[in-house]
Amino acid sequence: MTAPTNANQGAEDALGFVHRWMPREGATRTLLLLHGTGGDEEDLIPLGDMLDPTANLLSPRGKVSEQGMARFFRRLAEGVFDLEDLRLRTTELADFVDAAARHYGFDAAGVTAVGFSNGANIAASVLLLRPATLRSAILLRAMVPLVPDSPPALAGAQVFIAAGEHDPIIPPSNSERLATMLREYGADVALEWMPVGHQLTRDDVDAARDWLRAE
């Protein structure tokens, strides 16, 4: 048997994703942190701490490599997704969250996704294809990832979307469409517009934190 190469190796082998797990004593919420293209499992840890310092943090690294940049699913071009891969990766990620809840012993009913860009898009895809995985989601610069074959049961799900008014990647109409779609499936959606582009600002963090506190 080969010796583990890092302290988390056993869990990574069992759960199938390289990831960070940061438990917090008495936590009632787990933030599932999903980085953007070219990021990794470390990227959103500071954001998770700012959003809710009392929550457990679970932060996987996307398994797809685009010229060495980690992503959560394949794309054919900017904003054009490989839908077959997206469906497969969405299932894989939702299964990871379920397995991590059993492995680490956190409440699977208390998971809030926090995704940026590509991470926000797969979080939206989890809402659409595996709605029971998430209690709520913070989608920072998300677009419509796909249209589900059957309507997901999203009644009771809370979603915060922060969109950039001048985002060069996501047209405003696409952010509106995502909000409308999630509302039609029963989610309670707050859509907030930031006077910026694709990058996150302090205002995004403050707005998401205030929303989370009230959730």
Name the minimum Å distance from CB 58 to ligand MLT: 20
Which ranges constitute the DSSP H helices of 60-201? 83-104, 118-129, 172-184
DSSP labels, 113-145: EEEETHHHHHHHHHHHH-GGG-SEEEEES----
Output the smallest distance, CB 120 to ligand MLT, in A.
8
Non-local CB neighbours of 149 within 8 Å, separated by 6+ positions:
none
In the residue annotation, 19 being an active-site residue is answered as no
Of the candidates 35, 167, 175, 204, the residue annotated as catalytic is 167
Query: CB 35 → ligand MLT: shortest distance, Å?
Result: 10
From the candidates 19, 59, 117, 125, which is the catalytic residue?
A: 117
By CB under 6 A, the residues from 43 to 72 that bind ligand MLT are none
Q: d(Cα 56, Cα 48) in Å, to the nearest integer?
A: 9
Angle between helix axes 118-129 and 172-184 (nearest 10 degrees) is 20
- 115 touches ligand MLT (CB under 6 A): no
Output 101 or 159, the one with its CB closest to ligand MLT: 159
One of 24, 63, 74, 75 touching ligand MLT (CB under 6 A) = 75
Is 98 one of the annotated active-site residues of the chain? no
Residues forming beta bridges with residue 111, ordered by sequence position: 30
Residue 169 in contact with ligand MLT, rule: CB under 6 A = yes
**Among residues 118, 133, 136, 175, the one that binds ligand MLT under rule CB under 6 A:** 118
- With H, G, I as helix, E, B as strand and everything else as coil, classify residue 170: coil
Task: Compute the distance between CA of residue 16 and CA of residue 11 in angstroms, rounded to an integer.
Answer: 8
Closest CB to ligand MLT among 21 and 73?
73
Residues that bind ligand MLT (CB under 6 A): 36-37, 75, 78-79, 117-118, 121, 169
